[in-house]
Structure 1
Amino acid sequence: MSGKDGINVKDFLIGGLIGGIVGSVTALLLAPKSGKELRGDLNEHVEVVKEKGAQWKDVAYEKGIEIGNVAKDKKDALVDSASGFVGVVKDKSGQLYETVSKQTKTVKDTAVAGVEATKQAAQKAGETFKSEAKDVGADVKKAADKSKEEVEEASKTAKDKTEKIVDDAKKELKK
């Protein structure tokens, strides 16, 4: 029963009661009355405070009983609900276990078949790759030989042109 600011109802009621008593006593002590009148007024106020305290005690007791009964009813309802929920969870978990067991077997069988198919496909791909690699190797050798011939020819042409340029340059220098 805490408020937003952390003050509970009990502390508030005690503070209100003490504040009322202090205020009443201060008012009576500062009032211009005779001692007999003052004592009479004090006795009246004390009686009023006692009555209010008794009323607040009774109200708090009744509210406590009401809250206790409501809490007991809610607890009973929650226990009943939880019991039903536990039964449902047991049934569903049993069904789930059976389904998972069946699915696991199916997945295992599929995985085994998949592994075998993958092995066969890998072997076939390896053989195909080997065959094609030989063909590609022969093609690469032919292309390399052709490139070598072209490079030699280009090199010879470049050499001839360079010699011609050098000869022309020598002739020019002699002039």
Structure 2
Amino acid sequence: MSGKDGINVKDLLIGGLIGGIVGSVTALLLAPKSGKELRGDLNEHVDVMKEKGAQWKDVAYEKGIEIGNVAKDKKDAIIDSTSGFVEVVRDKSGQLYDTVSKQAKSVKETAVAGTEATKEAAKKAAETFKSEAKDTEKELKDAADKTKEEVKDASKTAKDKTEKIVDDAKKELKK
């Protein structure tokens, strides 16, 4: 557990443990019992506190594993969606390169045929290239927006689960 929430839970655990010990010892010392009974009660309370501490440790360990698994799953999902984005960019770049190559060849052949024809072909190639670039830009933007949403959703899910785990741990501490 790290960050502000982790420190609060840790402080709460330590405070609860120390408060419980101090309260138990105070209650036992102020109670009118014989020394033998008092030692027996003290030993019994120490055993109970040890048992509770072990239970809290187990709960904290389990919650840590859960958080780690959620983070790993979300990381894998983000990597998968990002590699899909990279493939889209790679494909569109290849298509754009092919289109530009074809248009350049067409422009070169037209230049041989005449100056006027060359101007017309260059204009057409520029329009096609511009249109392809706009289409590619839109597709790239859509893919980036989708990836951004997936990352946002993954972060929210991880945050929600972490908050639930912290709440569960707080409830366990209150018991």
TM-score of the pair, normalised by structure 1: 0.51
Q: Which residue of 2 aligns with 1:58?
A: 58
Query: 2:42 aligns to what?
Result: 42
Distance in 1 (CA, whole Å) between partners of 2:22 and 2:99 is 75
Compute the RMSD of aligned alpha carbons. Answer: 2.9
1:32 counterpart SS class: coil
* Residue 17 of structure 1, CA deviation: 0.7
* Residue in 1 that maps onto 2:144: none
How big is each residue's C-alpha offset from its partner over 1:83-141, in whole Å with a ceiling of 9 and x where there is no partner? 11111122234445677896xx97xx67xxxxxxxxxxxxxxxxxxxxxxxxxxxxxxx
C-alpha deviations, 1:35-83, integer Å up to 9, x for none? 1111111011101101100111111111111111111111111111111
- Runs of 5+ unmatched residues, structure 2: 108-118, 124-175
* Offset of residue 7 of structure 1: 3.8
Paired residues for 1:3-152 under 5 Å: 3=4, 7-95=7-95
Q: 1-side partners of 2:82 and 2:36: how far apart?
A: 68
Q: Secondary structure at the match of 1:8?
A: helix
Q: Which amino acid aligns with 2:13?
A: L
Aligned mates of 2:44, 2:33 — CA distance in 1: 15
**One-letter code of the match for 2:53?**
G
Residue identity matched to 2:78: L
* Aligned residue type for 2:22: V
Residue 100 and residue 8 in structure 1: after superposition, are their counterparts in 2 closer, same or farther (change >3 A)? Answer: farther
Q: Which has the larger radius of gyration?
A: 1
TM-score (norm 2): 0.51
